[in-house]
Amino acid sequence: MSAPAPLALLCLPCAGASASMYLRWRRLVPSWVRIVPVELPGRGARMGEAFVEDFDALVARLCVEQADAMCGDFAVFGHSMGALLAHGVTRRLQSLHRPLPRALLVSGCAAPSRRDPERFDGGEDDASLTAELRKQGGTPEEVFSSEELMRITLDTLRADRRVCRSHAHVAAWPPLPLPIHAFAGRDDDIEAPAMAAWSEETGGTCTLDWFDGGHFFLRHHETAFLAALARRLPTPLNQAHFQAPLPAHQGQI
């Protein structure tokens, strides 16, 4: 008898980043989790492709490209812009009557109903984008010291801001029939009610875990974050072959 497949966790990157931000997680998560870093057009291994700057178009493309990964036992995670895309992908799967993820996990992103539509207006010159990267604190110093890496990062961030700007909240969506688990940094500029509003997107369980740190708490407190992530993930359907996650330490919303 072959070993059961682990839970596939599709991981969508934040604005300005590539799938490489999740590569190290492969050796840090439990054996029953298979990290699937999702590369977006125009970056990383897909740098030769044009950026997709429209939110709905990008979501539709991801649902086609990741169809194989979204079969069987899977969950979807995203940080910041990636969380917005993860939600968009889940909603599109719902509208197409395709199998849904076992859970939606969102990090460092206000709920769709609480997003500020003016947040991404203007500020696309190099100086403004560089200041934003400095403020968020998630960019390695070697990127700032490399003209080539900065050019790549700024061009990617500029395109991703347009993705975020083109997102439109659909209030008429029915609740998702799956749990949503949200994660946030106490020093991030996203207010607590905007994070708690993720509960409006689901008819099931919604949890919210807080961490010390700002927008990139998941990087600066990686060990604690990955432990919480493992607690929130659903164990594989054939879970007898794997060690179950530790019990949750935070309450439900």
Could you report the per-residue pLDDT of 12-48, keeping only the tens digit for each?
Answer: 999 989 999 999 999 999 999 999 999 999 998 999 9
Catalytic residue among 79, 167, 181, 215: 215
Which pairs with CB-CB distance under 8 Å and at least 24 residues apart come from 115-118? 115/84, 115/167, 115/169, 115/194
Give the pLDDT score at 167: 93
Give the pLDDT score at 150: 80
What pLDDT digit, counting tens, does each position of 140-174 carry?
677 776 778 888 888 888 999 999 999 998 888 89
Catalytic residue among 80, 87, 181, 199: 80
Neighbours of 193 (CB within 10 A): 10
Question: Token pair of 241, please?
Answer: 């072959």
Question: Token pair of 159, please?
Answer: 């395109």
How far apart are the C-alpha atoms of 104 and 91, rounded to whole Å? 10
Give the pLDDT score at 137: 66
How many CA atoms lie less than 13 Å away from 154 in the CB half-sphere? 18
pTM of the model: 0.88
Q: Known catalytic residue: 80?
A: yes
